[in-house]
Structure 1
């Protein structure tokens, strides 16, 4: 298979690089930056159906955009959940009215989204969700329950929520995919979660009678599991390739530090550095091989197992290369961040969660075994 990009793709890449160089260095806050991206037509690349996006772009051009964005000095995206997860889900399962209502504000950078999937008792095993959505006399839904590890919930205008609408239902039956406005004081509470790094990238979200309108059910009542699984499939491909650009930069920093500290003279360290480089190349080729594929049920799980273990091992290697200095942090007497980490310490601590969030390695291996290799299903207790 040819993994290269065409001349048109490279011309598009050059346009992207030039625009980012001219605009990404500003001091805009993240929400303003989303509007800047939307106004310039960079959100919704490839949403050709219905004309909801800003530009037409081939799949390889979408990869070029994602890779160049990852290489630029642009701030982290606040709108990626709406653009990369919600939007393709609505294009696949939503009504015309839902697409017309929600896709243009995402493409303009005007409305931000978060994902209401995981719960304290249902993380990687998503079918165990217990958040309830009860019908009200006017046909709407009243939502009660808790979600956790909700990225960007403190900034989001909307949340797509997987909730149980059929009383007494179990597992993947009786679930519904709901679009829920976050601006419901007294009915939705967002609490930040302090991590090992001292930062708070995730949140707990508590729903206490929050409302969702009947016309904001995606895919029909009771079809939430099908819609939710479809959404998770959109996490492969383009976003994975962009993620690997960041991985390559982190690996380059580790290699340079190994040379500076003399750690590279250790043959074991050299072997591990070369292995990390080779495995990263394999991940890229695998992502390109499955790009745009809809028939490989195990592709997202294979990709998750590959990158999570790789990144975790890189964090361990970074600390080894850093040496004794890597064990010392700088005190910073602040209630929000009591200590300050260097880049390697942050990489090591944050990557400990890589094999857990987004579907634990154990769950992913079960999916690969049962759905790809056809092995006997795991016994249920």
Structure 2
């Protein structure tokens, strides 16, 4: 089992000795972070009901273990898009990670590579995608390296961004589809959050603002959202357009409805991430633990599924795999670890979760990920 060490290499931050799980990192991160930055990175939409429900839904699922099964020699390896994963843990895209630590996404990416975890870089990262690619793309032992994409109003810029990611060594494109507009984030507004000087979405630098739309008075409704912004929001036609721009695997992130999963499959999308944006866009939407099995039933084995939202324990990872996910994405906990102890904290966070998953597998009689099925979850 992984424990913090007192022997910290020069230049690395020490992990607090009382840090034994992901919740401990949240506590330490809040004490270290600026109030506004904490509100931005930790908060959710509205009353934060979905934010809380994401965590609770995994906790509410009860395991039904099998005993006396041979698990010696087991492992957590699997295959995804032609790549061997040492374990099913991938770091989710989180914007502006320099709010949590000066090295931001670079420390997170290096820690992920060191722990053989996947890493997804946000379009709104505060670190250049080329710098991330130079640092980790050539590492033979790293996990998947993916680029998250928000389709921009300037499709030529979007195309160039995708090609930049390809050239930098990113393995897949993750298109976020559940945020045509930002959610109503009360906590963030109360804190008066603004990006501090020196932190920006550097990979969008140079993009021209969308041209203003001329809306005749008789056609307008006095809504900046409906009359202007949503005219640039992506549709299924844009998914087909993106499919034509790249040969890399494309995953859609933010799918909760089975019908949307089926449509994605029909358009040649390679994978889905069952996600509600960590409760940051639409409040009271169902938690991902409840959405996942419905999506799995809709697409069967025809499309790899991943899931994020509220995963805090190795038992949560086990439950996600039992409900049909091939891998899970971890967002806030790794940012908490980044804020607490930089790259060392993120690496420790990943190791803690992997250790917990292995223990959960052993105690439910599962030697490999292929042994994990829905029947290890009790269904009343």
Q: TM-score range by the shorter chain?
A: under 0.3
Q: Which TM-score applies when normalising by structure 2?
A: 0.25
* Structure with the bigger percentage of helix: 1
Relative CO higher for 1 or 2, CA cutoff 8 Å, sep ≥ 6? 2
